Chain A
């Protein structure tokens, strides 16, 4: 079945440091890939997405590129801020097949703490 493996944390960085959180996946067909963020005590917010190979998703300075050849979707940010402290989840959803198939398969999450 589908699965997502992401870098286990916690990750602790200083403000303005470069961030990379690795994510690889296993899936049949052509999944869509997502990064979700969860702030303390809150639900999940979509951070960015990519729906086909070589697409780059970006939002709020975060970027991730859909690499089919390496089955990866690594999250990067050039300069993190204290406000980026949260748990980050990589996820995939299966391809459309005539009906609804939007089940999301998540990684275990990576806790990021950014210190001033």
Chain B
């Protein structure tokens, strides 16, 4: 059974650029959630995908968008990067259909915007 994997692990972008982060969900999981963790803070919910549709969104602007693919992997896209977007981006997968299924997290992608 493979865990949640994210790529890349680190990257540096310039303000105004666009970035795509990738996540492979744990085997058997059909739901992917993305979180932003600023330095010294708790993770903040960005959005969740289930059956390739967005299924809940936190307080993030539309320049944060995502996709989920038929194999349940997912992408997080951020356009027009700002310095404040520098953070650890965490992907979590879970199984929908069972109440209170716990989320399993990947190692995260550390994004630095300069």
**Which of B42, B50, B108 has a CB less than 8 Å from the CB of A43?**
B108
Q: Is B33 positioned at the interface, with any CB of A under 8 Å from its CB? A: yes
**Which of A36, A99, A107 has a CB less than 8 Å from the CB of B55?**
A99
Q: Is A101 positioned at the interface, with any CB of B under 8 Å from its CB? A: yes
For B49, give the chain A residue with the smallest CB separation: A100
Contact B42 A32 (CB under 8 A): no
Contact A102 B101 (CB under 8 A): yes
Kindly state the separation between the CA atoms of A49 and B94 in the bound complex, as whole angstroms.
Answer: 15
For B90, give the chain A residue with the smallest CB separation: A43
- Which chain B residues lie closer than 8 Å to A51 at the CB level? 99-100
Binding site for B on A (CB under 8 A): 4, 32, 34, 36, 42-46, 49, 51, 89, 91, 93, 95-96, 99-109
List 13 additional contacts besides A89-B42, A106-B44; criterion CB under 8 Å: A43-B107, A44-B43, A46-B102, A91-B42, A96-B100, A99-B55, A100-B55, A102-B31, A102-B94, A102-B101, A106-B42, A106-B43, A108-B42
